[in-house]
Amino acid sequence: MASLGHQGGSRLGLAGLAVMGQNLALNVAEKGFPISVYNRTASKVDDTVDRAAREGNLPLYGFKDPGEFVASLQKPRVIIILVKAGRPVDETIELLSSFLEPGDCIIDGGNEWYENTERRAEAVRQKGLLYLGMGVSGGEEGARYGPSLMPGGAVEAFKYIEDVVKKIAAQVDDGPCVTYVGPGGAGNFVKMVHNGIEYGDMQLISEAYDVLKSVGGLTNKELHETFAQWNKGELESFLIEITSHIFSVKDDKGDGELVDKVLDKTGMKGTGKWTVQQAAELSVAAPTIEASLDSRFLSGLKEERVAAAKNFKELGVSDILAPSNVDKKELIDGVRKALYASKICSYAQGMNLIRAKSMEKSWNLNLGELARIWKGGCIIRAVFLDRIKKAYDRNPDLANLLMDPEFATEMVERQGAWRKVVTLAINAGISTPGMSASLAYFDTYRRSRLPANLVQAQRDYFGAHTYERVDQSGWFHSEWHKLASAL
């Protein structure tokens, strides 16, 4: 345990030693940067110091007094906070800032609402302090061995930690998975949308699993082999990889595989909901991400669903309708294509949301660079992120990923299989809200004329909201009822 003998020696500090904080601190120390750690629960300080000793006598120093913790840091002092979002962050800032001096820096590494970050940045600025909101993605393992980092806020503050974050971030072929995202709450906003894309990705994978199992009758062994094979091609990604692993894990408390014993009730921490709310606020279509959120809501109605299944079974509608005779090999290939095309739509929606907020806030975010830093460390890391980066490199003003020539060609090549898979699922009574929403997004985006003319006519009929014409400029209002009655 370090004491005042270490005063002024640590490169930076970290407050908040839950799983993510502890692992990030060890990562920093392992990369050769002395770090001081603090937690209100003293036992967590001891645990972290013990881990640092076990994992190679890493230069990590624990403190149980906040004043001594701050005094142990080199000037200008930099402190990363990793505590639960909301009031705990405010309380930690209030505690630590009383020991800080003008020029020192606070970094919130949690999943925080971006407007809270902007509020806090202004509050500490009045005390002469700098502030960053830094998204950290990669879970426990990423934090320990190399996450994707999304810092936003004061650019001067980023310069304080640039050497550290470039070392501790995941490393890919074109550099560390970190970049200065932009001013204000840009870092937290980008991390939020990253999580929204993650929601969509996980939902789409679960639907692929459902179709393969319920329509194709694949066993867990076959599912393991299928996803392992997919992870060698265009779908190569962290989520596909861990999914293949999940199907092979035996139940340590009974027979069969563990995945079949997991309750079908999904939890959430709020970032997916925030993403959907922001999409609505910015008038950006994000149907795949919205469908994933709705699916989590419905999964939470476990007792209702069990009752509904019993009720409808008595009415002659079974849990799964009689599936068609399908060729397994053909189905697996079709689901792979449907999953890939659906994922592209989900990522396109997320990128459009980031771009819309960037324009609203004048953040000037670089979408290609964001795709690059997601290539490693984070939960949504995937091989096609490199191609997304290249698409934005080719055209920084790309309106939609679906408009990139390479992705457009791939969507066209996969649409036949995509439609067939969704149709098979519908006929079997299997819900595929994510794939269906992605397909509807594609079909809506690619049409030059939609039935929105009828909706606008209805709005003008009952509310005199006016409408535009295809053959004349300006806004018009018609007395629809009178015109109809005169016929």
Residues 349 and 466 occupy one common structural domain:
no
* 265: in domain: yes
For residues 145 and 227, state if they share a domain.
Answer: no
| pLDDT number for residue 8 | 64
How many CB atoms within 10 Å of residue 317? 12
Residues 141 and 249 reside in one and the same domain: no
pLDDT at 1 over 60: no
Question: CA-to-CA distance for 14 and 37, rounded, in angstroms?
Answer: 5
Determine if the peptide bond prior to 151 is cis (ω within 30°).
no
Collapsing DSSP to helix, strand or coil, 15 comes out as strand
Q: pLDDT per residue over 139-152, tens digit each?
A: 899 999 999 999 99
Q: What is the DSSP track for 21-48?
A: HHHHHHHHHHTT--EEEE-SSHHHHHHH
Query: What is the number of domains present in the chain?
Result: 3
Mean pLDDT of 314-328: 82
Q: Indicate if the pLDDT at residue 128 is higher than 70.
A: yes
Whole-number average pLDDT of the chain: 94
Residue 365 structure tokens: 């975010």
Assigned domain for 279 exists: yes
Summarize the confidence of residues 176-199 as an average pLDDT.
95
- Considering the domain architecture, whether residues 468 and 434 belong to the same structural domain is answered as no
481: domain CATH number? 1.20.5.320
Tokens found for residue 484: 């109809």
**Residues 258-264: contacts with CB within 8 Å, 24+ apart?**
259/220, 260/220, 263/302, 264/299, 264/302
**pLDDT surpasses 50 at 5:** no
Band (pLDDT 50/70/90 cuts) for residue 325 is confident
**Do the annotations mark residue 84 as ligand-binding?**
yes
Q: Is the pLDDT of residue 2 over 70?
A: no
Both 442 and 455 in one domain: the answer is no
Domain presence at residue 2: no
Q: Residue 36 above 60 pLDDT?
A: yes
- Per DSSP, helices labelled H in 300-376 are 302-314, 328-361, 367-373
User: What is the extent of the structural domain holding 462?
Assistant: 451-486
Percent of residues, the chain, with pLDDT higher than 90: 90
**Domain match, 125 and 271 both:** no
Are both 368 and 393 inside the same structural domain? yes
pLDDT surpassing 60 at residue 254? yes
39 is in an annotated binding site: yes
The partner residues of 382 in beta bridges, in order of sequence, read 237
Tell me: do 436 and 458 sit in the same domain: no
Query: CATH number for the domain including 97?
Result: 3.40.50.720
pLDDT of residue 268: 79
- Is 21 annotated as a binding-site member? yes
Q: Per the structure block, which two tokens stand in for 89?
A: 């962050």
Of the residues 146, 180, 214, which one is the last residue of a structural domain? 180
Cα angle value 381/385/386 (rounded, 5°): 120
CB 63 within 8 Å of CB 69? yes
Please report where in the chains the tokens 């009720």 appear, as a residue.
311
Q: Is residue 368 part of a domain?
A: yes
DSSP letter string, 235-262:
T-BHHHHHHHHHTTPBPTTSSSBGGGGS
Is residue 117 in some structural domain?
Answer: yes
One-letter amino acid for residue 399 of the chain: A
Task: Judge whether 269 is annotated as a binding position.
Answer: yes
Contacts for 84-91: CB closer than 8 Å, 24+ residues apart: 84/110, 85/110, 85/111, 85/112, 85/113, 85/116, 85/270, 86/112, 86/116, 89/116, 89/120, 90/120
Beta strands in 401-449 (DSSP E): none
Assigned token pair, 438: 């992605």
Return the pLDDT at 404: 97
Is 247's pLDDT higher than 80?
yes
Domain match, 153 and 257 both: no
CA angle 265, 266, 270 (to 5 degrees): 145
With the CA atoms of 440, 444, 447 and 453 taken in that order, what torsion angle do they form, in degrees rounded to the nearest 10? 130
Query: Over 90: is that where the pLDDT of 72 sits?
Result: yes
194 labeled part of a ligand binding site: yes
| Chain CA centroid to CA 63, Å | 33
pLDDT at 319: 80
Q: What H or E segment, with its residue span, contains residue 130? A: strand 130-137
pLDDT exceeds 80 at position 393: yes
Domain end position, chosen among 138, 157, 180: 180
Residues 303 and 439 reside in one and the same domain: yes
Residue 83, annotated as binding a ligand: yes
**What would the two tokens of residue 435 be?**
């794939």
Choose among 196, 104, 107, 192: nearest CA to 151. Answer: 107
- What is the predicted pLDDT for the residue at 212? 96
Opening angle at CA 29, ends 23 and 35, nearest 5 = 95
Q: Has 139 been labeled as part of a binding site?
A: yes
Q: Considering the domain boundaries, does residue 3 fall inside one?
A: no
Quickly state the pLDDT bin for 6 (edges 50, 70, 90). low
> Is residue 298 domain-shared with residue 398, that is, in the same domain?
yes
- Span 402-460, pLDDT tens digits: 999 999 999 999 999 999 999 999 999 999 999 999 999 999 999 999 999 999 999 99
Beta bridge partners of 15: 38, 81
> Does the annotation place 195 within a ligand binding site?
yes
Residue 66, pLDDT above cutoff 90: yes
User: Percentage helix, strand, coil, to 5, in the chain?
Assistant: 55, 10, 35
Q: Are residues 117 and 256 in the same domain?
A: no
**The pLDDT value given to residue 324:** 65
User: Domain for residue 6, yes or no?
Assistant: no
Specify if 7 maps to a domain. Answer: no
Tell me the catalytic residues.
Answer: 191, 198
Given a contact cutoff of 8 angstroms between Cβ atoms, the answer to whether 170 and 137 are in contact is no
Cβ atoms of 60 and 49 within 8 Å: the answer is yes
Instruction: Provide the pLDDT for residue 3.
Output: 42
82 close to 15: Cβ distance less than 8 angstroms: yes
CATH of the domain at 273: 1.10.1040.10
Dist CA 201 CA 343 (whole Å): 6
311 in a known ligand binding site: no
Note the pLDDT of residue 417. 98
Domain boundary among 155, 180, 205: 180
Closest by CA position to 24, among listed 150, 149, 143, 146: 143
